[in-house]
Structure 1
């Protein structure tokens, strides 16, 4: 009997060990491990309990043996129930189970000391209840095989109850024989059940992967030795293959067929690296060839994969061709000029940055700007202007040397980057070629157009150490060349930087200076010819810049015109002149005539004349106290805006003078059209006096002026000989350093005191 009991208990432990080995093969299934330990503990509990019950004499060791046996049996039942719960997706609540286990073990121990038969019944009942609960869990909602297992657990419950029922010591041969059969069958059933579930789960996972792979928008390819052993439909479509199984019949050599020749070495290196490293994950971005020869752009991830017992490369790929084309289009749009298809300013700036690092090879930069291009747009239309720019771009692109890169910076400005040019002579040769290319007219929209350029040349690293500074240098040289007559070009020199910075500084400070009223007026006297008596003043604006001293009008007046601040400056000049006239009128009872220079840009404001007259009226000044001077070139260029306001001023008694007479091209024809009362001969006409030819010109001009009842003022009288000659030739007024330099208001007031006292 003892042998049978040992065989039964040992077989339980061995079957439990088999379940534990099965669990180690796939550790996802917790119920297999719990049932395995349950069977091991059941075998151990039976050995320590009924099998070896009389092996030790009564005493502490026997009591300990019985306690350990009871603990093993109750633990076995708890794990059996936990396994059934885990199989159904539930978890045993340890906070309740462990105290219950302790109570059961303690109850068994106490009963065992007092009444072994009662303890046997109590333990058998607990084991039977546990097996019945496990049977119930597997029966509910279970398939046929699960219900057979449930029946096995129910049979096991009956076996547990038969022990004390058939033998007071629990050693019935029937119980152990039945237990041996039931436990063996149940253990084998649990092994088969666990294996079946694992197989079904594996098959389900495989089916899921297959569905995911087959319906994925990402291409999946498994490579072994550059041959495709698997490819999903997305990958087949991506590369232009028909949707057939791969390989069919032989694996495809993708390296030779789909990878461009220049990229095959990189593909081989990556494939080898992935096969050698189980943790490899390499992202890549490259071009590939489809089966029909199209170039496609692929973003991929390569990782290690075991395939049929051998290492392989798993490729996860996305066809990025559309996005790449869009990116290329955006990049081209960002770096190319749409009108001429030349690289644009962004390209030029980036390329200059790349080339101008420390120790970089020398190169030259030419900034070129078309002369009077706006005239083409205004007279012939923007379509012709655009066509001209395209024609220029085509001609220059074809004829410039290979090392020269032509870009369009914007409007009518181009840039030529000449890499590898270290000498001024080489750069000069290219810029002279550039200028010569424009000597032949361009045929645009049925019209022949001849255009010229002004260009500036800067050299790296002599003229600047970075791309931005070099571009500024070339543009500074171009603007200096543009100020010269006709097509011209210049090399950059450092003085141009200083001039550009000074010009910018002047423009930036001008607005603040006007608001702070940093400007003042000086008054240069004019004298009546013959008598040399004072006939009036010309107000000359001066800028006393704090911390810088006096700024020349030749600097700030053009800056005010460029920035549009000439109107504000003009208003300030009128205010200063009127205030001074009012002071003199209060002191002397009358005011002299004061001439102020007016920019033609001031006449763009239709309210200029009205505000000037209103200011004179508000101060109570006679309109004849103020005289307006405008240059003949400005008057001719803005005749439509100037003439109406001059007519209004003249009708209200404000005299108008034509300044710098003799420097324009249409002066004589304008004398009758403009409502002027005075003509001021430019100093260039007075300086040669008393030379015969110069005298003849002045005499003829004076005769014409006298016939039109105009005052003739000789400007720039520097010597007595010039003064006498001007008087003799017919000039009615004289102005210049010989007779009087510009004066402060105080000095002019003293001169007025003497003049009015002599009258």
Structure 2
């Protein structure tokens, strides 16, 4: 009997080992391993608890061995339930179930200590319940094969029940023969069921993979020696192969789709992969489709085992749209869409490349004059058409090796290779001058365009592209100061002047805040008597660490930077402060003239500010004189007229400065509420020439007819003074009579208050 029990236990253990071996083959199916351990534990439990049990049921040896057998048997049922649960997809957690099996162990061992037969009965009951629970799970969750295994689990439970029924200690041969047979069949069935489940999972996975590569937009291609061994539908779409009309691409020569360079690169890539030199290679290539069109591919290649040897797997995407978008973006980044010329980025890259070569060349910076006026008067579409016409003329006129680019709205740049000598520079300058002689025809309308151009040479005027373009721009801006189309070659003093102008503009704001400016007073004398009649306040800038800065430099800078208003208010306050000091010292005030910039009239409160400041300093308005130029009057007439009228109504004098330099002076004399006419020094300087005298005489007659004071400016000789008096000037001003004076020196000339 013992031998039979050991044989049955060994057979069950062998079947359990078979399941464990299958579990190693299919590690993803954990239920196989659970069922394998269930049979191993059951075989060990039967061997220790039945076949090899000691005859003395009251000995310590028996109790220890029986306890181990019970533990193994409970482990068997636990693994049996775990396998069934995992097979049907139920959640199984050992931490939660371990207390239940510990309780079952206590329920078995406790009565067994009293009488082993009681322990056998409880154990048989627990084993039966476990088998039937597993059967219930498989029956509800499965079909025919699972339900057959469920019936075997039910039979296993019946065998467990038959043990104590046929023999108090479950040693009946019938029980063990039936158990051996049933568990053998169960083990074989579990093996087949597990194999079936593994096969189903493999088939499902294969189906999913097949669906993935069939539906994938990514091309999958297996290639060996340029021959296509496998291609999914995405590759067929990429290559332009229609399965309904064209041959299936397997065993098709791929070289027909690749250009020479691409084919050579693919061959080298495949050689490296098949030789094991590289694990994978990323690549990009253009291929020809069946219809002759070209698509851009981006892919990843690696080696793969194929049925008849090693091959190369290529994963690829049609990247044509992204490639075209990238090319379009690059073109947009480097080209001007309006004129189809290279833009600033491309031009600077070309300049840097040329400077790296070290060969001489010239850079021309060309800017259209008054182009904004074209846009405002004729429209932006007309302006765009004009820019295209300019670009086309320059492109056709320049030599093929030259580069023409558009840098900004109306600025062009040309790079002229080989221009080095002075003669070549002069030739290029004259050619550019001639490019704009003829009008441009836009919308059947001839348009004359004037251009200001600056020319700089490498390496004389700069070591790199940025420095060269900067030098050409400096020369171009200098050319803008001249009328008509002008082309100037760069000279070092140009940048010095530009830097000085920038330095003044940058320092001006701080200088106004720190009140680094002071006033000098140019006396004005009555004609014939040569008695003092007033002063003109002249602003001066004594810049710390630099010295005196010319008004010809800082006044335009203040106008360009919008700081002329702040400077004008400073001059007004300083003049009024000096006049108040003179008045406190007991001097008799005479009118002081203050120059007002044209831009100051943009402030509609200018007249109010002048009158308010005069009142704040205790100065009567009649002792102030505002000098306005013809430029201010013409350019801002609507703003100037009401403010001058307000000042004249308050008895502030108004002088018309620089008369004789404008074009509309006579009309303005009639319209402006002025009290004084100041003849520009350009009219006085030629005196006593007859023609110059005739002009001065005419101006004086005109001024006298309008009851104006007439001031001759720039009187430097006695001859000029006498001739000005003879011709009708009422006042004289110039170095002959007095140079500009400090505030204290001017005060010394004033008569004492009566």
Q: Compute the TM-score of the two structures, normalised by the length of structure 1.
A: 0.84
Preserved contact between residue 228 and residue 246 of structure 1 (Cα < 8 Å): no
Tell me the distance in 1 between the aligned counterparts of 2:599 and 2:395. Answer: 40
Selected match of 1:562 from 539, 560, 563: 560
The equivalences for 1:75-86 within 5 A come to 75-86=75-86
Tell me the distance in 2 between the aligned counterparts of 1:246 and 1:752. Answer: 111
1:219 counterpart residue number: 218
Tell me the distance in 2 between the aligned counterparts of 1:102 and 1:364. Answer: 97
Give the 3-state SS of the residue equivalent to 1:222 in structure 2.
strand
Preserved contact between residue 219 and residue 238 of structure 1 (Cα < 8 Å): no
Cα gap change, 1:60 to 1:553, in 2 (>3 Å): same
Cα gap change, 1:171 to 1:246, in 2 (>3 Å): farther
Give the 3-state SS of the residue equivalent to 1:753 in structure 2.
coil
1:519 counterpart residue number: 517
Tell me the distance in 1 between the aligned counterparts of 2:694 and 2:227. Answer: 101
Preserved contact between residue 678 and residue 712 of structure 2 (Cα < 8 Å): yes
Selected match of 1:696 from 687, 690, 705: 690
The equivalences for 1:96-175 within 5 A come to 97-98=97-98, 120-167=120-167, 170-175=170-175
1:341 counterpart residue number: 340
The equivalences for 1:371-382 within 5 A come to 371-377=369-375, 380-382=378-380
Tell me the distance in 1 between the aligned counterparts of 2:457 and 2:56. Answer: 108
Deviations 1:114-135 (A, max 9, x none): 8665555554444333323322
1:705 and 2:699 are equivalent in the alignment: yes
2:505 counterpart residue number: 507
Deviations 1:171-216 (A, max 9, x none): 5443343233222221221111111111222222233334444445
Cα gap change, 1:356 to 1:88, in 2 (>3 Å): farther
Deviations 1:624-646 (A, max 9, x none): 53333344455555566556655
Tell me the distance in 1 between the aligned counterparts of 2:194 and 2:375. Answer: 88
Deviations 1:526-546 (A, max 9, x none): 223333222322211123445
Cα gap change, 1:133 to 1:383, in 2 (>3 Å): closer
Larger CA deviation: 714-723 vs 605-614: 605-614
Tell me the distance in 2 between the aligned counterparts of 1:528 and 1:101. Answer: 129
Preserved contact between residue 219 and residue 233 of structure 1 (Cα < 8 Å): no
> Cα offset for 1:391?
0.8
Tell me the distance in 1 between the aligned counterparts of 2:374 and 2:435. Answer: 19
Selected match of 2:435 from 421, 434, 437: 437
1:408 and 2:417 are equivalent in the alignment: no
1:551 and 2:553 are equivalent in the alignment: no
1:591 and 2:585 are equivalent in the alignment: no
Tell me the distance in 2 between the aligned counterparts of 1:144 and 1:670. Answer: 115
Preserved contact between residue 366 and residue 431 of structure 1 (Cα < 8 Å): no
Q: Compute the TM-score of the two structures, normalised by the length of structure 2.
A: 0.85
2:478 counterpart residue number: 480
Tell me the distance in 2 between the aligned counterparts of 1:672 and 1:98. Answer: 116
Larger CA deviation: 337-346 vs 534-543: 337-346
Selected match of 1:603 from 601, 604, 611: 601
Give the 3-state SS of the residue equivalent to 2:751 in structure 1.
helix
> Cα offset for 1:742?
0.7
CA-based RMSD of the aligned residues comes to 4.2
Preserved contact between residue 224 and residue 311 of structure 1 (Cα < 8 Å): no
2:745 counterpart residue number: 747
Preserved contact between residue 587 and residue 751 of structure 2 (Cα < 8 Å): no
Preserved contact between residue 629 and residue 659 of structure 1 (Cα < 8 Å): yes
Give the 3-state SS of the residue equivalent to 1:539 in structure 2.
strand
Selected match of 1:389 from 384, 387, 407: 387
Tell me the distance in 2 between the aligned counterparts of 1:60 and 1:613. Answer: 126
Deviations 1:341-360 (A, max 9, x none): 333345445666x6499898
Preserved contact between residue 714 and residue 726 of structure 1 (Cα < 8 Å): yes
Preserved contact between residue 366 and residue 412 of structure 2 (Cα < 8 Å): yes
> Cα offset for 1:390?
1.6
Preserved contact between residue 700 and residue 729 of structure 2 (Cα < 8 Å): no
> Cα offset for 1:404?
3.1
2:14 counterpart residue number: 14
The equivalences for 1:1-400 within 5 A come to 1-53=1-53, 68-95=68-95, 97-98=97-98, 120-167=120-167, 170-216=170-216, 218-225=217-224, 228=228, 231-242=231-242, 248=248, 250-254=250-254, 256-257=256-257, 259=258, 261-270=260-269, 287-300=286-299, 302=301, 317-326=316-325, 328-329=327-328, 332-348=331-347, 355=353, 364-377=362-375, 380-400=378-398
> Cα offset for 1:583?
4.9
Unaligned runs of 5+ in 1: none
Deviations 1:329-382 (A, max 9, x none): 555445443433333345445666x64998987765332212343444455554
Give the 3-state SS of the residue equivalent to 2:128 in structure 1.
helix
Cα gap change, 1:189 to 1:276, in 2 (>3 Å): farther
Selected match of 1:718 from 701, 716, 721: 716
Tell me the distance in 2 between the aligned counterparts of 1:77 and 1:597. Answer: 113
Unaligned runs of 5+ in 2: none
Preserved contact between residue 633 and residue 640 of structure 2 (Cα < 8 Å): yes
Tell me the distance in 1 between the aligned counterparts of 2:701 and 2:15. Answer: 138
Cα gap change, 1:369 to 1:96, in 2 (>3 Å): closer
